[in-house]
Structure 1
Amino acid sequence: MSFLFYTAVGLIAATLGSLVGLGGGIIIVPALVYLGPLFLGEHISVATAVGTSLAVLIFTALSSTMTFFKQKRVDFKSGWLYFITCGPGAMLGSYTTQFVNAKSFQLSFGFFMLLMAILLVLRDYMKPLNIQWRIERTYTDGSGRTFQYGYSVLPALVTGLAVGFVSGLFGIGGGSLFVPVMVLLFRYPPHVATATSMFVILLSSIMGSFTHLGLGEVDLWMVLGLAPSALVGGWLGAQIASRLSSKKLLWVLRVTFVVVSVKMIWEGLYLTA
């Protein structure tokens, strides 16, 4: 039963996560917290779920980044810039997890997921802001298409810090914030934003995982159980992103976010009452 649970959760989370640049942790964390007692026969603390999820994201992001790299969709130059603050931010967020109790976490995570669902809906209707950034980039992908977008160093560093902190705190990778900001604020083409986001997630997840590991918040057996299917899911999601429209899967993800967020907010309010 545990083998099937790990395989299903790792595969679904990694596939959907790499498809839209989210990382997949936003599925792994609630799955471990809510379904762990049923399928694994043990209660999994919030801190352990977050730390374990962030460790699994290393495998998801590695697999998808390698696939996107072969497709020439990763903008490594801007990715390294984001990582300057995203990495330390992930460590800070990971360290902060130990001070957040389960009740507060449920409320915070529930509202955060609801915000992500709203951003994913608005992503289809909002046009990128027409801002002339100091650094202009021209990027040609593997199919020969050329895109122009830009950013400035300070806004990019602030974005990286915010995303890194959220990533370490919630164990979700941070791509759910990265991709909308990169597309709407900096005018990245969506597929380049997704691929570059996964590269930054790979680096920040490594740093955040070391912090959680030092705090004893990573279950290595769970990581070993989830990692194989996460590797496959990371590759699969990147393949789907390059060949098929993600609109239908995005709507499945949006509905999932809303359902889980409502559940976590309701239980958080009930528990704190």
Structure 2
Amino acid sequence: MIAADAAWWLIAGVALVALLYSSVGHAGASGYIAVMSLVGLAPEQIRPAALVLNILVASIATWQFRRAGHFSWTLFWPFALLAVPLAFVGGYLDLPTRVFRILVGVVLLASALQLVLRPPREGAIGTPGKPVALATGAGLGLLAGLTGTGGGIFLTPLLIFMRWARAGTAAGVSAPFILLNSAAGLGGNFGATQSLPGFVLPLVPAVLIGGYLGAHLGSHRLPHAAIKRLLAVVLAIAGTKLLFA
């Protein structure tokens, strides 16, 4: 059971996380994990709860960014093809993830710093080779399942830094990538545990409202430069959480 005062903090926290993350095409799993950890929830409850919320917000972000014309099927499918089954495998496994968290946390903080100090130059956009995209997607999918995230927190900065997509398209591709990986990771986790945490139900309205507002803002109102700045904030939050969880 969660104390009443902690429950209100949890609801407010996940709503704010959903708003911030969805504005850059993300669903907020790393932020939900941080908020749920702060109110003292058990680790075995946190990962499936975060994935449930991720699916809801990623669905909204996918719809909003696609409707605004930011989705690219050509860029999306090579990354997603192997990511989804490996996210299921990662969700099923119960492995020590501390080393992963440290390494990924450092990468995310470094990416955030690069976006602030040396934003990627606008220029020609290239297309990754299919073998590179397939291998990258496979690794991100496995990591997403192991850490209880959707993998977009890793995919978006990669697409921008490698000049495979501009900020809006990177957000539009990351949202469905997160949606599919989260669903696969939740399926793997449920296959291993045969349970879902009941406390997640009161959080659903909060993330739906926050996710809708954030995704609408990011897909229709924010210029590319603003999305990059918000992405830097999201990366810094996620990286700090992974390092100090």
**TM-score category of the 2 structures, normalised to the smaller one:** 0.7 to 0.9
Q: Secondary structure at the match of 1:99?
A: coil
Runs of 4+ in 1 over 6 A off after TM superposition: none
Identity %: 22
Match of 2:177 in 1: 200
Preserved CA contact (<8 Å) 2:15 2:209: yes
1:120 to 109, 112, 121: 112
CA distance in 2, matches of 1:128, 1:174: 24
Corresponding residue to 2:101 among 95, 100, 109? 109
Max radius of gyration: which structure? Answer: 1
| Change over 3 Å in CA distance of 1:157–1:254 after alignment to 2 | closer
Paired residue for 1:18, among 22, 38, 42?
22
Which residue of structure 1 lines up, in the alignment, with residue 126 of structure 2?
149
Letter in 2 for 1:57: N
1:63 and 2:60 are equivalent in the alignment: yes
Deviations 1:76-133 (Å, cap 9, x if unpaired)?
333222211110121121122x132xxxx45542442232121122135254799xxx
Amino acid at match of 1:51: P
1:72 Cα deviation after fit: 1.1
Q: Quickly say closer, same or farther: Cα 1:110–1:233, change in 2 above 3 A.
A: farther
The SS at the match of 1:20 is coil
Please give the residue correspondences for 1:168-187 in structure 2 after superposition, counting only pairs within 5 Å: 168-187=145-164
Q: Distance in 2 between matches of 1:49 and 1:15?
A: 20
Structure with the largest fraction of strand: 1
**C-alpha RMSD of matched pairs (Å):** 2.6
d(CA) in 2 for partners of 1:31, 1:4: 12
Cα distance in 1 for partners of 2:183, 2:243 equals 30
In the alignment, structure 1 segments of 5+ residues that lack a partner are 38-42, 131-146, 265-273
Higher mean C-alpha deviation, range 243-252 or range 195-204: 243-252
Q: TM-score, normalised by structure 2?
A: 0.84
CA distance in 1, matches of 2:235, 2:158: 17
Cross-structure match for 1:138: none
Query: Which whole-Å deviations, capped at 9, do the CAs of 1:172-229 have from their partners, x for residues lacking one?
Result: 2111110111122242011100111011111111111111112227534233222222
User: Are the counterparts in 2 of residues 129 and 187 from structure 1 also a CA contact under 8 Å?
Assistant: no
**Does structure 1 residue 31 correspond to structure 2 residue 35?**
yes
Tell me if structure 2 keeps the 8 A contact 1:86–1:204.
yes
Q: Deviations over 1:136-177 (max 9, x none)?
A: xxxxxxxxxxx8531211111111111111111111211111
8 Å contact from structure 1 (residues 55, 218) kept in 2: no
Measured in 2, the distance between the counterparts of 1:261 and 1:219 equals 23
User: Structure 2 stretches of 5 or more lacking a match?
Assistant: none
Q: Which amino acid aligns with 1:82?
A: F
Residue 4 (structure 2) pairs with residue 8 (structure 1): no
Whole-angstrom CA distance in 1 between matches of 2:90 and 2:121: 29
Note the C-alpha offset of 1:55: 2.0
Tell me the residue number matched to 1:54. 51
Aligned length: 236
8 Å contact kept, 1:63–1:232: no
